[in-house]
Every structure is written in C-alpha cells, then in structure tokens.
Amino acid sequence: MTEKFKWWMKTVVYQIYPRSFKDTTGNGIGDLQGVIEKLDYLQELGIETIWFSPFFKSPQADHGYDITDFCDIAPEYGSMSDFDKLLKEMHDRDMKMVLDFVLNHTSVEHPWFKESASSRDDPKRDWYIWRDGKKSGGKKPPNNWKTMTGGSAWLYYDNTDQWVYFHFLPSMIDLNYRNPEVKKTMFNVMRFWLDKGVDGFRLDILHAIYEDEQLRNDTFTWQILPSDKNTATLFRTHKYDLNLPETYDFAMELRKVMDEYEPERFLVGEVDGTVEQLKKYYGPKNNGLHMLFLFEFTSTPFNPYKYADIINRIEKNFPFPYTPTYVFGNHDRMRFISILNENVQKAKLAATMQLTLRGVPFIYYGEEIGMPNTKFKLRTSQDPIGRKFSWIPISQIKILGFSLTRDGCRTPMQWTDKFNAGFSPENCETWLRVSDSYKKINVAREIKNLGSLLNCYRRLLKIRRENIILQEGKFEFIEMKNLKKKCLAYRRIHNNQEIFIYLNFSKDFLKLDCPVKKPTLLFSTLANRVALNVNSNNNIMKLTPFEGIIFS
Ligand code: GLC
C-alpha cells in the first residue's frame, strides 16, 4: 500500500482531564482558561495534540460523560468564547485539538430524554430504546442484559409502563442509532465542532452504539473481571450489546463525515473487544476509524518479554498504513507509575519505549511527572463507579491496572509544592483531594532537575520531533536470544537509515553486542551520559540498570 504519512499518524497526544488541570476561578475545579495558561508548558514539553475529556454542559453525574448539551460549554469550565480562545491559542502554537465525543448516550437530564420519557407518543420517544417489560406493571425487564458496570441494563418508567436501555450508568441513557434522525443530529454535532476548526474526536465507548434488534438474551461466561482482550465481564459475554456489525459500518459513516473536511482530521475510538473485532473498526480499506486505543500496556506487568509480545501482535495486526496507539493510562485506569510501584527509573524506560515505537503515543496528564494513583474511600468517592462498588472490601487491583474508584487517577495536576499544588488558589477546596505526593512530585521542581522524569519526557519528545526515522521509520525487533527476560531492543528504519533503541529492563548492568562500530548516542534515560562507549575488541557496550538508550 502506498500511503504517505499524515500528520496524525505520527503526532503525540496529551490527554487533559479539564476538571483537574488548572483552576483559575478558585472554585476548586479546573477550567478552560487554566488550560490556556498552561499551553506554553505543554508546548515546551513537546506535545503536538491535546485530547480533552468532555467539558460540555452536564450535571456531572459522571463528570462530563453525561451530557445535556453537546454544543455548549459547562459554565464551571468557562464559556464558548473561552473555547474559541483556547482553540485559537492552540492553533497559533501549531497544536491540534481533539474533543471527546460521547455518541453513545446522553444524560438522563438531557431535554431530548426528558421529552422522550414524557409519553409514548412524544416525537422524541424513538430517540432512545424503550421496550415493554416481560410482564406488565414493570415486573420484569425486556431481557437479561447487564450494564458494563453490573446490574440490569433496563430502567423502568411507570408513567409509560416501559423500560429504557442504558449501557453504563442509569444517569446516562443510550441513544437509538436505528433512528435516522438521531444519526443525522449527532453527525451535525460533529460538523458544528469541525466547522469551528477542531482537529479530531475521541469516540467514547463506540463499541456500545448498537444493540441486537431482537434483544436476544446475553450468554453466560465464567469471566468476572474485565480484560483488554475481550468484552466479557461479570459473567456476561456482551454478545448482543457490543461490537455489532452495524457498529463497524457506523465507524465508516463517521469517517465519511470527517472526510468532508480539509486538512485531514482524525478519529480515535475507545472500543473493547478481541483483536479481530478491533481490526474491523479500522475498515476494510483503512476507511474507518483512523486509530483505536490499544490498552494492553495498562494491564501488563513491567516485563520485556510480555511487552515484546504485545508489540509483536500490534505490528502484526496493525501494519502500516494502520496506525497503532500506545496508551499507558487515562482517566479510567490506575496511574501507570503506580503499576510500576512508583519506580521512576522504570517509568523513564517505559516512556522511552512508548515514544520510539511506530504509532501514536497517548500521555495522560501528570504521567510526565510521575503522579501516582491516590487512595480514596469507595463510599465517599466522587466517581459514581466507586460508590456503586462500595460494598467490595478492596478498592484496587494493581496487577490488572484498575481501581474501583477512578478518583485515584483524577487528582489535581501537581504544578508546585505550594498548598493545593498550584492547581487552585490556596484559599479554596479542590474538588478532589490533592495527592500527598505533591511536595516531592510537581512540575516546578522537576523542571529544575535535569535528571527528572519530566525532563526525560522533554528530551525524548525533542528527539522524536527532530527525527523523521522515529516518526516514520519501519519497526524491527533485534533478537536478544538469551536476554529476553532482561532486555528489549529494536530498530527503526527509514530510507536506509537506522536508529536503534535498547532498553535494559533489569536491575543489573548488561553487556550487549553493539550493532554498529561507532555509535552516536542520541539519548539515554541517564541524563548525564554523554557517549556510548563500545569496546573496540569485542564491540560490547554496557547499559546501567533500567537504562534505555537511543543511538544511530
Ligand atoms: C468511557 C469513559 C468513561 C465514562 C464512560 C461512560 O469509558 O472513558 O470515563 O465513564 O465511557 O461515558
């Protein structure tokens, strides 16, 4: 396939959770003006694209994923003119903006839903999925479907004696995409933002868009915990409510809307499923979604052998021109550095890998300074999921990379060592408690320290930006025979030029064959290493514990 590299195939995306990034009004909640103030920081870090979690009108039952107006800004975050200013400031810096698009559902408070729920004859009735129960008088829901978070997926409304379907939480009800009016309206929501100039969308739980028309009962599985390899969870396979053939077609319809616009913009989908299912979203001719989140790193132990296996599968299943993504964390997952037991050396090594693989890296705010996951009580959690599971005695399962309250990965950004970590003015209470780690882990402190994680990200992003081989080069593993459990090595190749990446995953010094005679060191996780010394007799080079290097 002869397809040129487009800007989005090699960009670097940073995810901002607006509620927690920077508060300029003193209400304890981050806002758009706060993001504007921090754009220089992000530009200096080397970020090219920013994806924003939703800042649209919402009662905030699920912190913005429950929307009441898709084309307006929630007042706690600012106004439409703040948005316009933010977009302009970003474009002036050559940065791209990606919005979160929650197509699957609306808030239960959305005027569309209120109308729809009001009577069986309401013109908006068919905008949602209403069905009769199995017995009259609200006795039994239409089928056995469960939500992604457990419990029946049907909510009974006695005013019309019918049930309505929702996939996630009862505060968010699924739209009915079999109704062409709904589709048309939501495509126009996309155009509304595209006309303003936004550069892409992140598609929230896209795999849940369609459900089986006949509402066939779901099937049983022994799988309890969610996995990044299939959709089964809590004893249900989710065969009839996720990844329906209609949803793959829908991905291509979304692409067509995007293709109305120049210059090219992109879609990245949040979808769960098997690799075969995921591949279908890219479209048979790469004419579906531009990218999908590939989440496996978020739930895989730090191990070169296991990481190599994921990379191998990604390269095999999504070869060029398909664009893979490399994701270590987001607002739903445990913070990556906490899976690494807060080990900064390991985080540097992982970042070196993430930013030198073929594809698009996604960096979650605070990941660049090593913000850890914070413990919160489930019962008093801000996150509705945490409250829902408050009867469970444990709150997190590190090995699987998730915690039952997502509050832990959403704490305010740690800018300084001042009270409130420089996120909010000192005299106010932040919406979520600031992590106790802020005295030691904060931007101001890390900027000054050349050996910090933040400066490691900066150096890596600079090298990536300056080096077309790292952006566009082919990927190839270097066989490490007896060192599979200690080391990961690969090369990137572009127009006969090569760059090598060697990563020592062990706590020991490693002696390795150097693939070139006189290597030029481009980067080391050790900030003070200036050269790569190779023994001229046997061509052996030495890596320090957990060191990662890039050289040509
Ligand atoms: C996605 C979002 C998550 C949200 C859910 C419902 O998984 O990432 O934060 O709660 O969808 O919209």
pLDDT at 329 over 70: yes
| Pocket test residue of 15, 148, 205 for ligand 1, highest count of atoms within 8 A of CB | 205
Going by CATH, does the domain composed of 111-174 fall within 3.90.550.10? no
Mean local confidence (pLDDT), 494-523: 96
Helix (H, G, I), strand (E, B) or coil at 352: helix
Q: Which of 52, 58, 65 to mutate to test the pocket of ligand 1 (most atoms within 8 A of CB)?
A: 65
Binned at pLDDT 50, 70 and 90, residue 3 comes out as: low
Indicate the pLDDT class of residue 398, thresholds 50, 70 and 90: confident
Give the integer Cα–Cα distance in Å for 109 and 187: 21
Question: How many angstroms separate the alpha carbon of residue 460 from the centre of ligand 1?
Answer: 30
Rounded CA separation 501/522 (Å): 10
What residue's CA is closest to ligand 1, atom 12?
65
Residue 482: per-residue pLDDT: 83
> What percent of the chain is predicted at pLDDT more than 70?
99
The reported pLDDT for the residue numbered 233 is 87
Identify the active-site residue in 260, 436, 476, 513. Answer: 260
**Residues contacting ligand 1 via CB (< 6 Å):** 62, 65, 102, 168, 204-205, 270, 331-332
Question: Are 60 and 66 spatial neighbours (Cβ–Cβ below 8 Å)?
Answer: yes
User: Probe ligand 1: pick from 56, 103, 204, max atoms within 8 Å of CB?
Assistant: 204
pLDDT of residue 394: 76
Residue 1: predicted pLDDT: 45
Query: Is 92 among the residues known to form the active site?
Result: no
pLDDT at 53 over 60: yes
Tell me which of 126 and 395 has the higher pLDDT. 126
Ligand 1 center to residue 203 CA distance, Å?
Answer: 10
Strands annotated E in 103-235: 105-107, 130-131, 154-157, 162-165, 172-174, 200-203
Residue among 105, 172, 332 to mutate when testing ligand 1 (max atoms within 8 A of CB): 332
Question: Which ligand 1 atom sits nearest the alpha carbon of residue 332?
Answer: 9
Which residue of the set 23, 204, 218, 270 is catalytic?
204
- For 223-236, what is the mean pLDDT? 87
Is pLDDT at 324 greater than 80 in this prediction? yes
Nearest ligand 1 atom, CA 105: 12
**Model pLDDT, residue 14:** 99
pLDDT at 399: 67
Nearest ligand 1 atom to alpha carbon 66: 12
3-state class of 514 per DSSP? coil
For the beta carbon of residue 71, count every other beta carbon within 10 angstroms: 13
Q: pLDDT tens across 174-204, in order? A: 999 999 999 999 999 999 999 999 999 999 9
pLDDT of residue 480: 86
Q: What is the CA(205)–ligand 1 centre distance, in A?
A: 7
Distance CA 453, CA 345 (A): 8
**How far away, in angstroms, is 407 Cα from ligand 1 center?**
13
CATH code matching the domain that covers 2-103+180-457, chosen among 3.90.226.10, 3.20.20.80, 3.40.50.970, 3.90.79.10? 3.20.20.80
Paired tokens of 137 = 């008088």
Predicted pLDDT at 227: 85
Q: Pick the atom of ligand 1 nearest to 62's CA.
A: 10
Q: What is the mean pLDDT of the chain?
A: 95
Helices (H), 69-215: 80-92, 111-118, 180-196
The mean pLDDT of 167-176, rounded to a whole number, is: 97
What atom of ligand 1 comes closest to residue 385's alpha carbon? 10
End-to-end CA distance of the chain: 28
Instruction: Lowest mean pLDDT of 147-156, 345-354, 407-416, name the range.
Output: 147-156
pLDDT at 138: 74
Q: What is the CATH number of domain 474-551?
A: 2.60.40.1180
On whether the CB atoms of residues 143 and 215 are closer than 8 A, the answer is: yes
**Whole-number pLDDT of residue 224:** 86
246 given a catalytic annotation = no
Residue 2 has pLDDT above 60, yes or no: no
Taking the CA of residue 406 as reference, the ligand 1 atom at the shortest distance is 9
Inter-helix orientation angle 245-258/180-196, to 10°: 30
Report how far ligand 1's centroid is from the alpha carbon of 308 (Å). 29
Question: What's the rounded mean pLDDT across residues 431-449?
Answer: 98
Which protein residue has the closest C-alpha to ligand 1 atom 3? 332
Taking only the tens place, the pLDDT of each residue in 62-99 is 999 999 999 999 999 999 999 999 999 999 999 999 99
Q: Whose CA is nearest to atom 7 of ligand 1?
A: 205
Residue extents of the structural domains in the chain: 2-103+180-457, 111-174, 474-551
Candidate from 327-331, 376-380, 411-415 with smallest mean pLDDT: 376-380
Query: How remote is the CA of residue 131 from the centroid of ligand 1, in Å?
Result: 25
The percent of residues above 90 in pLDDT, for the chain, comes to 90
